[in-house]
Every structure is written in structure tokens, then in C-alpha cells.
Structure 1
Amino acid sequence: MIEKRWIHNPEFTSEQTHIVLELAESLKVSPSLATLLVQRGILDFEQSRTFFRPDLSHLHDPFLMQDMYAAVTRLNDAIRNGEKILIYGDYDVDGTTSVALFYGFLRKIYPNLDYYIPDRYEEGYGVSWQSIDWAHENGFSLIVTLDCGVKSVDKVIAAKERGIDFIICDHHRPGSELPPAIAVLDPKRDDCAYPYKELTGCGVGFKLLQAFCIDNEIDPAGLFDHLDLLVISIASDIVPITGENRILAYYGLQRLNAAPRCGVKALIQIAGLNGVLDITNVVFGLGPRINAAGRIKHAKEAVRLLLCEEHEEAADFAQEINKHNSERRTFDTSITEQALFMIENDDWFATAKSTVLYKEDWHKGVIGIVASRCIEKYHRPTIILTQSHGKAAGSARSVPGFDVYEAIEECADLLEQYGGHTFAAGLTLPLDNVEAFKTRFNDIVSSRILPDQLIPMINIDMLLELDVITPKFYNILRQMGPFGPGNMTPIFESRNVSLAGRPTIMKEKHLKFDVKQNNSGIFTAIGFGMAHFYPDLVNGRPFSIAYCLEENNFRDKKTLQLSLKDIKLL
């Protein structure tokens, strides 16, 4: 078991401490809670009010996005002229929710449209040649892409020659050349002045529809009804939940909990999610099931579910998708076991700073998940490859602070194609180049990665005495959500705590015990996968804990408990 590094936030300056005390006084909260706010850049009463009470009126003007006027004009023209419009999305959660939101909203205004999701295995990521052929054969003259397209220069040129225009809604980093589309909506364009850069693909599509509503004087309430789909994309695509994303996620969760659409409600039920849903529930409960459709069969099934308006039909679709997810989990578990066995039984990996594994019969739909599982155990940049159409196709995942995309780019001469970002990427290469790539990639990682980046870390927000924790403290803490990247659930450290009873091991892996500190009350602590700490704890060694606060609801009785991230024996 790799010992984790506990990284503490820097101590505040005297000026920051003064701000904390003023904020605590103006908000009538404890200095501990005020400290958490200042750490998040909330420095005064007005900023606090905006933070605690996000409002849809705070969304940016969509026309600030480069090409937005051109996009709305072309969409208006297509509708006025009765053209066939094709809504095109990627096969992951962001792509499928994008299509469900865009198509689901527009079909109530305009009927002459359809949607298209590429096959993960036959067509691959992005705009495919097959889709252009299909659009041409079926008389479409406008394609709106969602969560893809910003690098599809050759495809857009070919479509243009066939009389098909493109509006591209993407959030990935563009290449050196933009496609010659009617409009390329992407906040990450160098020439785009849009104030918020971290929208999902679904978020960019939402902004186009927001602009469309403004231009056509359509009440945006019908568009806001689709925010349950948008929050699923925000959570599942692991984008920062800051700025505009935080506003959209805040209202999306409200919608998800109060009145989710028929298909989403069926998915919530089949996932067994009870109580108030948050970002974590979406990431681990809904996202994988939606993704499983494209990984195991075809992502169009996920769109059908999300667009469904009949409860009985939605329940059937959800059941089918849940089966795909169970199958995905079986592949995931089996391939992860094989991958870990290969690492443990190959001396080369004993000194390697990276992991590159290839096996021809691994399921392509889960290799990204397997890469993440390997990092959980070995914490180093990882690439898992399998055979696809006579090539080696793979998914890469990285560790905090190391740019895996940059390292892959250094191996470009060995690759046929690649794409992605700092922490995740995809690549394809000839089978004959796998060993050379494995060696080159490891050399590059070894020369750049810092020793600390090979050790998992826990970012501690602050030291906390257990006697500070009260229901009021937790109630205010909870209102700092939705939590996610950029606004993570606070992690606290309490030092020199002691057992208040004998710990128990659950399911041979997990640890549960009661804990106290000096004269504090007693709190129950749960540590998943932490059974290995049991012998030292029962021997009476003093220890510190890193944890998040959560509410346990058992038989309608609510209690606060500590969700452990790590234990440090003293």
C-alpha cells in the first residue's frame, strides 16, 4: 500500500487572517467556515451571497462567444427554409446528454431534424466519414456537432463540397487550423473572448440554444427544464464546478432532485440512488450507466432513454442499459486483474516510471477505466492498449501534475493518431511499434516526472478540532456545494485522536470505528479499503485522520460521520 502525502494549504498571511475574521463576523459563521470561503476566493459579503445563492441571471451573455451570431443566423435560416438538420454528438456521457438536450429542446419547435451518434468501434471519436455519407444520402444540409468537431477539418471540407454546412459546438482545445464551418463555438479558441472557458460540450450546445432563445424571443424556461441533463454532463466530464458551471450544476441538481425527466428518473431508480442526489451520485451512479451503452453496444440507446417520455418504456430502456453496465463491470474487473498481474510479474515495471500494457483481446470500451484502476494501485502515468482493426488502440490516464498528452506527443512519429488533454488521452499506433512506444514513453516520463508526483496526495483544507463539528457547522458547509473540481469537498485533518471503542472490519476490506479527541463528542468514522490499519489501531497507537464530513441517514435518524481519506499513525 503506497503511503499518501498529506498536503496542507499554505498558512494565511496576516491580511488574509483579517479578511477571515471580518467575513466570519459579517456572515455570523465560525472562523473555520470563513477560512474555507477565503480559500475559495470568497472575500466579502457580496461574493458570499453570490456563492451561496447562485442565480441563472448570472449566466454570461451567449453572444460573447466567438461565432455565436453566425451560428444563430444559420440555425434560424435552416428552420425558416425547412432544411433537414442533423444533431451530431460523441458517444460518451457529455456527447449523449448534449444530443438529448439539443435535440429534445429543438424538436418541440422544429420537427425536421434527426440525431446521430457514431459507433465507438466502427467510426471512432469525432465526425466520421460514415456520418457524412449518411447525412448526404438522407438530404441533411446542416449538421450541428456537440462535444466534437473542432479538429475535423478534412471532414468539414468534404461535407461542404456536398452542400452540407456545419455548426461546431466543442470544448476541446483546437488544433492549429479551425474547420471551415459556418461557426466554430469553442471557448478554448485563442480568439474567443467568452469569459468562462470550462464549459462542457453540452454546456456549449446549451449556450447556442440560449442565444437562439434570446434572438427569437423564446421564453428560456423550457430550456432550463433540460438542466438535469446538463448537470450530468458537468459531473461526468470532470470539469471545474466553478463560475458558470457551478450555476448550471446548482440548478441542474435542483431539477434532478425535484423533477427529473422520465428517462433520467428511470436511471436513478435502477441505480438504487436514494435521498438527495449530489455530484458524487451522478459521477458514480448515473454517468457509468450512460457511458456503458456506448462501451458495450451503441450510445444511441442512451439518447433514446434520455429522450423517452413514457415511464414504462423508460423503465425498459433503463433496464437494458443497466445490463450493459453490469457487463461493463465484468470486463472491467477481469481486465484490471489481468493488467495488475502483468505489472506484478514483469521485472521491467519494478523500475519503470510509467505503465504501458498491451493485450490483443481486451475490450476497447473499458481500457480507460482499467488505466485508472492501475493508477489507483501504482500511481504513475498509464496507457492500456488493445487490438482494434489491426492496430493498437489505447487510452492514457495520468497523475496530478503530469501532462500525459505532452508525453504522448513526443512519440508522435510512432503513432497514427492521438488526442486528448493533460490527464487523459487516446492513441492509435501500428502493432509493430508497441514495444518501441513503451520504451520511448517511459524514457520521456522518467526524464520529466517529479518524485513527489509518483506518490498519491491528499489535499488537506484545514486542521479541525472535532469539537468544532456541529449540525449547524455541517449545514453551512453543505451549502458550499455543489462540490467537484475547483470546489472540492473540504478535507479536514484532526490530530492525535483516539478510539472510543473497538474498531470493526466490514466485508474483509473496510474499517469502522468510533473516535474522539480530548473532550469532544464521539463520532463514527468509516474507512473504505482501510482494514489494514486495524492491527495498529487496536494496539493503541495514537493517530491522526484525514476525512470529509457527511450525513448518515439510518432508519430516519440523521447523524454526522467522518468519511476517512487516510489514517496517519503517530
Structure 2
Amino acid sequence: MRWTLKPIPEQNNVKRLSAELKVDALVSQLLLQRGIANYNEAKDFFRPELNDLHDPFLMKGMLEAVNRIEDAIAKQENILVYGDYDVDGTTSVALLASFLLTSYDKVATYIPDRYAEGYGVSLQGIDFADDNGFTLIIALDCGIKAIEKVAYAKEKGIDFIICDHHRPGKELPEAVAVLDPKREDCTYPYKELCGCGVGFKLIQALNSNSGGSIEEILPFLDLVATAIAADIVPITGENRVLAFCGLQVINTAPRTGIRAIVQQLKKKVLTITDVVFIVAPRINAAGRMVHGQHAVNLLMESDVEKAMQFASEIEKYNADRRDLDKEITAAALTQIQENKEEEKFTSVVFDEDWHKGVIGIVASRLTETYYRPTLVFTKSGDKLAASARSVKGFDVYEALQGCSDYLEQFGGHKYAAGLTLLESQYQNFKDQFEKVVSQTIDPKLLTPEIHIDAQIELHQITPKLFRIIKQFAPFGPGNMTPVFMAQGVQDTGYGKGVGEDEKHLKLTLVQNGSKPIGAIGFNLGEKLSLIKSKQQFDIVFSIEENEWNGQVNLQLKIKDIR
């Protein structure tokens, strides 16, 4: 890994903030690096409150959206809540539909089939609305580029409201309202909401327009926090408030469906990381393996027995997804090795039998292994479909534009994209993609980079420091868990490889006579020789709690050793 120390803030600012907050210099440095420079900003950071949320009517199109929904309710119209099949989409649909159903019963949900309809608003979905007498479709986490589809719906007398967070094209669909903070003409103060976040702003507006208090919609924040975690949006500003309050709901009074997922776990208190790795994949598994509507059914279910039944079905989908993911990743790694492609700038693999629902996960796994822009292809109808993943700092969407002559269609963003092409163009595309990447990527981007907040001494690691760091949560993009570096540490002599094939390292570390502290280094077993014979070495790590035999101690989670 490349070790990069973040810039150290000016000492005068560190001293001033330390005095203002009555904290030590290290804590002030961590806060300043996160853009927190005074008491009020620190208060908002450490104590997020619902009252910190922006007025939803600041979002362009919000008034029109609220008026159209209220009009539909007054005229007893049928409303179809439509969303994407991933976590952000299914939580969005569950959020808006369950909110509307608290006071109005002519509401149904629709999730497109990942395989039959593909991503976003589909003609099939609009035909379903037409056949069943729906005159208003509210699309969540999709729709910002559905210009022809919205026009098609209009011909059939169906209005659209779009709630999206993806970057719009040059033209917007002719919907009644288009809610998207990334619209160039939208002056909403926070731009990084996920799709479910935009959906929450809509229910906030509907609720306040009917005289409701913000506390009344607090129970919906378990869905919003789940979407924020899964969609990996920055946990800053308004997202931090939504995630912080949403985690409190998840840990104290989650909806029946989320409780059904969570109560299979042994953890008493879930963090945002638990939501990313435990709750979100299970919700996602429905859309990957069967149909996203199964996830919506679980998230909207209030009967405990039914919710438990749905959760156990989804648990099975998730287990199947994991098995497929493991199997396909192993086959893809073998393909890369057999074709001797480790030295290339890209990893591009294909098998017509690979399951389309997991190729995105496999692409992520391959990127972790070889740290190259990666594409995983499979057969989809009479074409090939692929998921693309990139490395930090390289725009894979732009690279695909340089290969567009060989593509049928593609879409996505800087680090993840999807595409389709004719099988006859596969080799031409593969060659062109390697050429484009090799000519445009900075070679240093092919080595993972680790950003370090501060260099510290082991004696500075205390329960008090850890208690303060815990209050920096929820962690995520824009507010990552603090990462530290310590130089010249030594193992006390008992360091060893642990786990299957001894691929992890377990150590006890000291530095300049400090008290020993335990440490674990996952996937660092090959570095055992660096820590033997009490020789000195440098580490990059975060601090965590380790519970063993009823004892809770601080330990270092080592990210790299040199």
C-alpha cells in the first residue's frame, strides 16, 4: 500500500479548538481534518438532531410534487410507487408507500425485474400501471434519464413524479415534478442524498404540509440509514443527521422487517458497518437472486410471523448469493491466471453461465485482489452484459466512453458502471479497454493508497481517546474511521499467524517502554517475518474494542506493516 499522511492543520488552529472544546490536540486535529473548526460545528457533529435537517421545500419541484400527491388523494386516484431493485430503491419504495398507506389506501408498489426489465423505469411497468388504472407513478432512485418512458406514460394519461439522486443528462423528463438535488437549477443546500434520502424529503414535505411534526416521521429513518449505508454516499451534513438518527431507530425500535433480519444476529448494538455488511446484503439478495419485490414485502410487513418467514426466505437467497459469489470469483481468478493477465492494466473476464445478479460483487472482489479497473461479463439474452468496477482515482465511466464504438449501451459513474455489447465485439472491446486504460491511468493508482490521519505514539491510545473517537460515528465516506501510524514498534515475541492457512497476524505490541497492546492484522500473515526477533517496524492501524471471555480491551486493527 501507499501510505499518505493527511495534511496537518495549522498549530494555532489546533490550540484554539483544543481550548474551545477542552480536548487534547490529537482530537482537535482529527476534527479540523473533517472541516470542523469551532464549537457550534463540533456540537452539530457530535449531537446531530432532526431539527438540523433542511426545509424540504428548498428542493426544486417539491411544491409541485406535494400538490400533485395531495390532489391525487383528494380525487381518489390510484398511486403506484416505483423503484429500483437494489437496497436504495427497495427501501425508498417501502418508505414512501408505507407513509402514504398510513392515511390513504389506493397505493401499490412496483419493482422492475432485474432480468426481464433491467434498471430504471420500464415500458412494462408503465403498461402495468395503465392496465391497472394507476394515474400517478412516483419513481424513486431512478427516472432522471427516463425521457421517452415518461413521455410514453403521458400519452396514456399517467403522470410522473421523479425522486432521484443520479446525475441528470442535458434534458429532464417531462414529469409533474423532478426532485433531484443534483439538478443544475436546484439550489437545495445538500447535494449528496441517496434515493431514499430524496424520498424522505418528500414525506417530510407531505407531513409538514398537513401540520405534522418531524418526530412523527422519525420511525422511517431506519430505512434511510440502511440506504445511506448501502449506497456508500458521504456521511456528512444532512446524511450524517439521517444516518445518526436512523441508527438509533434501528437499535431501539426498528420496523418489523428490519427487526426480523437483525434478531438473527448476536450483536446488541449495530453500527453503520454492520448495516453495510449484514442488513444491506440481505435486502439486496432478493433483487439479485429472485425479485426485489420480496425485499419491499419484508420491509413493509407489520405482522411478526410473516416478517420472520420473509426474512428466512431472504436469508436463503443471501446464502445462495454468497455461494455463487464465491464460486464465480474463484473461476474468474483462475481465468485471469490461466490467461496470464496479471501484468495487464485491466482485468476483463467472461463466462456465459455466470449469474448476472452477482457479477458486480465479483468485479469488486477481483478489484480487491489485483487492484485494476475490472469488468465481469456474462450472457444476457442475445448480448453480453458486464459490471465494471474501478480503483480509487480512475474514472471507469470515462474509459468506457473511449470504447463506445464497441458498446450497445452503458451507464454509471466514476467507480462503477454497467454495459452491454454484442458477443462478436467482445474481443475488440477488451483490447480497446486495455489500450484506453493503459494510456490514461497514472500507474501509481494501481497500488492501493491508505490515508493516515495522524502519526501517534502507542502510549497516547487510552480508553478516553477511544470513547471520543466512538462519538465520531457513524463512519463512512467523508468521515472515515480515524487511521493512525506508529513508527518503531516491536512485538513482545509472541506474534503468530492465525486463522485458516495462518493468513492473519496476531501480535502484542510495545513502543519505547509503553504498556503492551494487542493487535490483529487481517490478511497480513505473509508479513510475519517482519515482526520476528523483536525487530522494529512501522504500522498503520485503527483502534477498536475486543471482547474476549467477558473482558473488553482496546486493540489495534492493523491495515499495513513495513
- Range into which the TM-score falls when normalised by the shorter chain: over 0.9
Decide which moves more: 219-228 or 157-166.
219-228
Q: Which residue of 2 aligns with 1:53?
A: 47
Q: Which moved more, 1:535-544 or 1:185-194?
A: 535-544
Kindly indicate whether residue 454 of structure 2 is the aligned counterpart of residue 462 of structure 1.
Answer: yes
Distance 1:464 1:147 in 2: 43
Alignment of 1:51-130 (within 5 A): 51-130=45-124
Q: 2:355 aligns with which of 352, 359, 363?
A: 363
Deviates most, 55-64 or 409-418 = 409-418
1:433-444 equivalences in 2 (<5 Å): 433-444=425-436
Matched, 1:8 2:5: yes
Q: In 2, Cα distance between the equivalents of 1:412 and 1:179?
A: 24
Does the 8 A contact of 1:148 with 1:170 survive in 2? Answer: yes
1:310 aligns with 2:303: yes
Aligned: 1:17 with 2:14: no
- Cα distance in 1 for partners of 2:336, 2:319 equals 26
The secondary structure found in structure 2 opposite 1:193 is: coil
1:359 is displaced (CA, Å) by: 1.0
Alpha carbons 1:105, 1:222 under 8 Å: kept: no
| Distance across 2 between alignment mates of 1:322 and 1:212 | 35
Deviates more, 1:210-219 or 1:477-486: 210-219
How far is the alpha carbon of 1:501 from its aligned partner? Answer: 3.5
Structure 1 window deviating more from structure 2 (514-523 vs 78-87): it is 514-523
TM-score (norm 2): 0.98
Instruction: Write the letter of the residue equivalent to 1:505.
Output: G
Alignment equivalent of 2:468, drawn from 476, 483, 488: 476
Alignment-derived partner of residue 136 in structure 1: 130
Alignment equivalent of 1:174, drawn from 160, 168, 191: 168
Q: Distance in 1 between matches of 2:329 and 2:268?
A: 32
Q: Find out whether 1:412 has 2:404 as its counterpart.
A: yes
Distance 1:501 1:483 in 2: 34
SS at 1:192 equivalent = coil
What is the aligned length? 560
Instruction: Answer yes or no: is the 8 Å Cα contact 1:552–1:561 preserved in 2.
Output: yes
The residue number in structure 2 matching 1:255 is 249
Q: Quote the residue 1:399 is aligned against.
A: 391
Gaps of 5+ in 1: none
CA displacement at 1:218 relative to structure 2: 2.2
The separation in 1 between residues aligned to 2:533 and 2:117, in whole angstroms, is 58
Deviations 1:302-355 (A, max 9, x none): 1111111122221111111111111101110111111111111213x2442111
Shift of 1:273: 4.6
State the secondary structure of the residue aligned to 2:235: coil
The amino acid that maps onto 1:292 is: A
1:154 to 141, 148, 164: 148
Worse-matched range after superposition: 518-527 or 196-205: 518-527
Deviations 1:85-108 (A, max 9, x none): 000010000001111111111100
1:561 equivalent to 2:558? Answer no
Moved more, 81-90 or 44-53: 44-53
Residues 57-76 of structure 1: CA deviation (Å, up to 9, x unaligned) = 11111111111111111011
Equivalent residues in 2 for 1:523-562 (5 A)? 523-562=517-556
Which residue of the other structure, out of 320, 329, 341, is the alignment partner of 2:313? 320
Match of 2:281 among 284, 288, 298: 288
Residues 342, 370 of structure 2: 8 Å contact kept: no
Aligned residue type for 2:274 = N
Render the CA deviation track for 1:131-168: whole Å, top value 9, x for unaligned. Answer: 11110000000000010001111110000000000000
| Distance in 2 separating the partners of 1:41 and 1:435 | 47
Q: Distance in 1 between matches of 2:558 and 2:298?
A: 36
Contact kept? 1:273, 1:285, Cα under 8 Å: no
Question: Which of 19, 22, 28 in structure 2 is aligned with 1:28?
Answer: 22
Q: Which amino acid aligns with 2:20?
A: S
Identity of aligned residues (%): 52
Higher mean displacement: 273-282 or 122-131: 273-282
RMSD over aligned CA atoms reads 1.1
Are 1:427 and 2:419 an aligned pair? Answer: yes
- In structure 1, the partner of 2:231 is 237
Q: Which amino acid aligns with 2:333?
A: L
Alignment partner of 2:167: what SS?
Answer: coil
What's 2:382 paired with?
390
- Paired residues of 2:493 and 2:534 also in contact (CA < 8 A): no
Whether the 8 Å CA contact 2:481–2:542 is kept in 1: the answer is yes
Indicate if the aligned counterparts of 1:273 and 1:281 stay in contact, CA closer than 8 A.
Answer: no
CA shift, 1:399, in A, is 0.6
What residue identity is the alignment partner of 1:302? A
Quote the residue 2:271 is aligned against: 278
CA 1:560 to 1:86, structure 2 compared with 1: closer, same or farther past 3 Å?
same
Between 229-238 and 305-314, the greater mean CA deviation after superposition: 305-314
**Inter-partner Cα distance in structure 1 for 2:140 and 2:133:** 20
Runs of 4+ residues deviating >3 angstroms: none
How far off its partner does 1:506 sit? 2.1
From 316, 341, 346, the equivalent of 1:354 is 346
